[in-house]
């Protein structure tokens, strides 16, 4: 895809592997690098199977955030909860949330 011009490599200081971005986003990449992209922070609950969450060591080294999907962890060994989601705000992990829908009552309970 690099040879076809669809993706472009980028080196992230402090990390050995190359990272890639879509070549069509070159203008945005330059704005980000120059600090004038005008991006507003937004909050996201990250799903445990989101590709961002796959590399636990990368997440720990980049954001100093330790994440483990505890769905298969025995109850007594769980630290955060059965289906706890990391909370990403802007460019930082700021917390975790375990939300459980009570379908009978029509309520979303947050532990």
* pLDDT digits 0-9 by tens, 75-103: 999 999 889 999 999 989 999 999 999 99
Average pLDDT over residues 20-24: 95
- Give SS3 for 63: helix
* pLDDT for res 62: 85
| CA–CA distance, 105 with 111 (Å, rounded to integer) | 16
37: confidence class by pLDDT, cuts 50, 70, 90: confident
Average pLDDT, the chain: 91
Using one digit for the tens of pLDDT, what is the confidence trace for 64-79? 999 989 999 999 999 9
Contact 86, 93 (CB under 8 A): yes
SS3 category, 11? coil
pLDDT of 8 over the 90 cut = yes
CB 10 within 8 A of CB 19: yes
């Amino acid at each position: 895809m690099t040879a076809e011009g669809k993706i472009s490599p980028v080196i992230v200081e402090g990390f050995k592997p190359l990272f890639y971005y879509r070549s069509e986003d070159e203008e945005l990449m330059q704005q980000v690098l120059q600090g004038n992209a005008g991006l507003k922070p937004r909050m996201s609950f990250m799903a445990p199977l989101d590709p961002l969450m796959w590399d636990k060591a990368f997440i720990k080294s980049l954001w100093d955030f330790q994440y483990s999907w505890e769905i298969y962890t025995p109850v007594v060994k769980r630290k955060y909860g059965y289906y706890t989601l990391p909370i990403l705000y802007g460019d930082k992990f700021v917390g975790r949330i375990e939300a459980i829908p009570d379908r009978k009552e029509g309520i979303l309970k947050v532990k």
